[in-house]
Amino acid sequence: MKELKLVQPIRDLDVLQKCFEIAREHDAHRKTGEVCWELILLIGLNTSLRVSDFRRFKVSDLRGKDYAQMQAKKTGKEARILINPQARKEINRLLAGRKPDEYIFQSRQKDSVTHKARPITRQRCYDIMNIIAKKAGIEERIGCHTLRKTFGYHYYQTTGDVVSLQRILGHSFQRETLVYIGVVQENIDESMMKMNMLTGRRSR
């Protein structure tokens, strides 16, 4: 829980763009079977789903679909999220030619019982996100909730609709949602920047 609170959303759209450029540069040189970094960003930033959930998607779950549907591992609730048209177009492009029954983020490790490929672990996704963040010059702490928080932050900044966002994220209270997406912390930081009367010097 402490780690969850420390993780902040990526607020700057230019920095987000840089993250996509880094992911695409990696993907341009990736070998067959390696994870597509751009897909991690696209799905994580456009579905509001947790890493532990969207890493389990198979190609048939998303390719050609208008909605991302998944039973949340943490809560057991059914999630049905509309994928905006531009994100849908890019996801379909990146999934073209892949087998319907394979995991979108497929690990090289195989299940010991079925001998079929597993999805990548939550830790692997965390590692990829941290590599991207480091190359993008992001200094704030990055974690598995970064993409979900970033979705929430920009959804709120675009719509101002905390009621709908609360429902999307499955929170019980609006303040919980605002704390989660970093808006409360952002307001505190802005207020602290104005606290310049305690230095013994007056502003001129």
Does 115 qualify as catalytic in the annotation? no
User: How many other C-beta atoms are found inside a 10 Å radius of the C-beta of residue 43?
Assistant: 26
Residue 98 and residue 187: Cα distance in Å, rounded?
45
Catalytic residue among 103, 155, 156, 180: 180
For 131: left if phi > 0, alpha if psi spans -120 to 50, otherwise beta; the answer is: alpha
Phi, psi angle pair for 69, to nearest 5°:
-120, 135
Does 74 qualify as catalytic in the annotation? yes
3-state DSSP percent of the chain in helix, strand and coil, to 5: 50, 10, 40
Pairing of strands 67-71, 106-110: unpaired
Catalytic residue among 26, 63, 145, 149: 145
Q: Are 181 and 153 in contact (CB under 8 A)?
A: yes
Does 154 qualify as catalytic in the annotation? no
Q: Residue 71 forms beta bridges with which residues?
A: 78
Q: Are 48 and 42 in contact (CB under 8 A)?
A: no
Catalytic residue among 74, 80, 201, 204: 74
Rg (the chain; Cα; Å):
19
Catalytic residue among 18, 63, 148, 149: 148
User: How many other C-beta atoms are found inside a 10 Å radius of the C-beta of residue 15?
Assistant: 13
The one-character DSSP state at 103 is B
Active site residues: 50, 74, 145, 148, 171, 180
